[in-house]
Chains A and B, each alone.
Chain A
Amino acid sequence: MEITKKDIEHIANLSMLNLSEDEVDGYAKDMQEIIAFANQINEINTDGLEESAFALDSYNVFRKDEVRESFDRELLMQNAPSSNGVAYQIPPVIE
Chain B
Amino acid sequence: MKNITKLTSHEIREGYKNKDFTVKEVVESFYKNIDEKDGDIKAFITLCKEDALKCAEIADSKISEALANGTFDELPALFGVPIAIKDNMNTYGVKTTCASKILENFISPYDATVIKNLKEQGAIMLGKVNMDEFAMGSSCENSAFFVTHNPVDLTKVPGGSSGGSAAAVAGDLAPISLGSDTGGSIRMPASLCGIVGMKPTYGLISRYGLVAYASSLDQIGPMTKDVEDNAILLNAIAGHDEMDSTSANIEKKDYTKALINDVKGLKIGVPEEFFGEGIQKEVKEAVEKAIEKLKSLGAEVGTCSLAACKVALPTYYIIADAEASSNLGRFDGIRYGYRTKNFENLKDIYKNTRSEGFGKEVKRRIILGTYVLSAGYYDAYYKKAQKVRTLIKKQFDDAFSKYDVLIAPVSPTTAWNIGEKVNNPLEMYLADLFTVPINIAGIPAISIPCGKDNNGLPIGMQIIGKHFSEETLYRVAYTFEKSREV
Contact = CB atoms under 8 A, between A and B. Distances in A.
Sorting the interface of chain B by its residue count into under 10, 10 to 19, 20 to 34 or 35 or more gives: 35 or more
Interface string B362-391: 011011101110100000110111111111
Contact of A8 (B318, B338, B367, B380): B367
Interface string B303-319: 00000101101110110
A78 B339 contact: no
A55 interface: yes
Contacts of A38: 314, 317-318, 372, 381
B355 A30 contact: no
A76 interface: yes
B426 A71 contact: no
Interface string A25-57: 001001101110111111110100111111110
Nearest to B338: A81
A44 B311 contact: yes
A43 B346 CA distance: 44
B325 to A, nearest CB: 7
Interface in B317-337: 317-318, 325, 329, 332-337
A72 B374 CA distance: 38
B354 interface: yes
A46 B203 contact: no
Nearest to B318: A38
Interface of A: 7-8, 11-12, 14-19, 23, 27, 30-31, 33-35, 37-44, 46, 49-56, 58, 61, 63, 71-72, 75-76, 78-82, 88, 90-91, 93
A72 B110 CA distance: 9
22 contacts: A11-B370, A15-B325, A15-B367, A16-B351, A23-B363, A40-B314, A42-B380, A42-B384, A43-B311, A46-B388, A51-B383, A51-B386, A51-B387, A54-B202, A55-B393, A56-B467, A63-B245, A79-B337, A80-B336, A81-B334, A91-B343, A93-B345
B339 A82 contact: yes
B352 interface: yes
B336 A55 contact: no
Nearest 9 CB-CB pairs, A to B? Answer: A55-B442, A81-B339, A51-B386, A54-B216, A79-B336, A46-B387, A75-B109, A61-B245, A38-B314
B109 A17 contact: no
Interface string B63-99: 0000000000000000000000000000000000000
B429 to A, nearest CB: 8
Contact of A56 (B246, B334, B429): B246
Given A34-B368, A61-B246, A81-B334, 5 more contacts: A16-B351, A31-B368, A34-B429, A40-B314, A55-B441
A27 B369 CA distance: 13
A49 to B, nearest CB: 5
Contact of A41 (B245, B385, B425): B385
B347 to A, nearest CB: 8
